[in-house]
Amino acid sequence: MEKEKYSEELNVAVRVVHMACSLCQKVQKGLLGKAFGDDDEVKSKDDDSLVTIADWSVQATVSWILSNTFGSEYVSIVAEEDVQTLSKPESAGLLSKVVSTVNECLAQASRYGLKGPDKTLGPSEILEAISRCNSKGGPLGRHWVLDPVDGTLGFVRGGQYAVALALIDNAEVVVGVLGCPNYHMKRDRHNKQQQNHISSEVPVPSPDMLEEGCVMYSKKGTGEAWVQPTVYGDGKYEWPNFAKQVRVSPIDDPALATFCEPVERANSNHSFAAGLASSVGLRNKPLRVYSMVKYAAIAQGDAEIFMKFARAGYKEKIWDHAAGVLIVQEAGGVVTDAGGRSLDFSKGIYLESLDRGIVACSGTKLHEKLIGAVYASWESSSL
């Protein structure tokens, strides 16, 4: 029985993330034909980050499917977006687009082996589905954790982004699913040149390029992580056809290792990471990548290290890490804070008590070198 624990939750999570990826691909294709910043489908939030109709639409879709599959009274969801902007009278047109996008997506639920609504959902039902994601998490009980579009800036620029869904049970991440619509499954596990496909500096993708994507997933304690191609056209999702197991890279020589870091400088100290990389002998140029695609890259062996050292005052949110952390760990990797401690998902929506930063590695040898270098370099840093 223990082996089957969380299997149904994983099954549904993978299917709904596939649905969400399809939704995002359609929205992104529409956005790419418009000038950046010249579209009412992209809004700025109070913290100057971006939100799009894809963010709200994915949140509504995932919330509706989870609540109607498992029962809304049994589903607690921690998610990034709220309905403040959508609820304003001047946002009627934006809300109409979200409603249309969600209904179009839910109408395809049967293709993914899920049950959609019996009738079209109205604006109030869509807003309710979004606002239902109001859990604050915490140390007890089950909480789904959703980042509907992680890396929204990458999304609107035609680069990498991810749909991230995880299940936390009594503060432990037990299910993790990452949908990466612009990141393909690794075809040759020994061809390091393929790491170029995760560059954040991608030109606006052609339609062909957009039709490369994957969904990566894992369940705690299995020692396995899997990847599937996303579903395209009129194809039907079949579980678990086309899935293959992923494993972290065997490289443990820093001189050969590739490390990822965030693109944005606002909440990440690139100069400290660069000094750290130099001190441990990392020679390859860092891959600056939007979103949790960085975790996916480590899980399937395209990179060996992900380092993030936030600037003073910035607090990491659980939805930016939960799914990716589990997938890397079950694929054979190591993820801790910069003090070598496991990440604590018991404190609500933030990773409280985080020691300086986050370090994810493909193996213990690289991880130990990096943690040691952090201690050696920290006193001289400006963080």
Contact indicator for 184, 155 with CB cutoff of 8 Å? no
- DSSP annotation string for 146-162: EEEEE-HHHHHTTS--E
Computed on alpha carbons and rounded to an integer, the radius of gyration of the chain in Å comes to: 20
Distance CA 114, CA 110 (A): 5
Q: Which helix (H) or strand (E) holds 260?
A: strand 259-261
In angstroms, how far is the first alpha carbon of the chain from the final one? Answer: 47
The one catalytic residue in 69, 101, 152, 336 is 152
Chain-centre distance for alpha carbon 41: 21
φ, ψ dihedrals at 111, nearest 5°: -65, -25
Backbone phi and psi for residue 120, each to the nearest 5 degrees, phi listed first:
-60, 135
Phi, psi torsion values for 175, nearest 5 degrees: -140, 135
Give the integer Cα–Cα distance in Å for 183 and 211.
9
**Is position 230 annotated as part of the catalytic site?**
no
Active site residue 169: no
Q: Which residues of 87-109 are buried (b: 16+ CB within 10 A; e: fewer)?
A: eeeebeebbebbbebbbebbebb
The catalytically annotated residue of 55, 147, 150, 337 is: 55
**Which residues are annotated as catalytic?**
55, 152
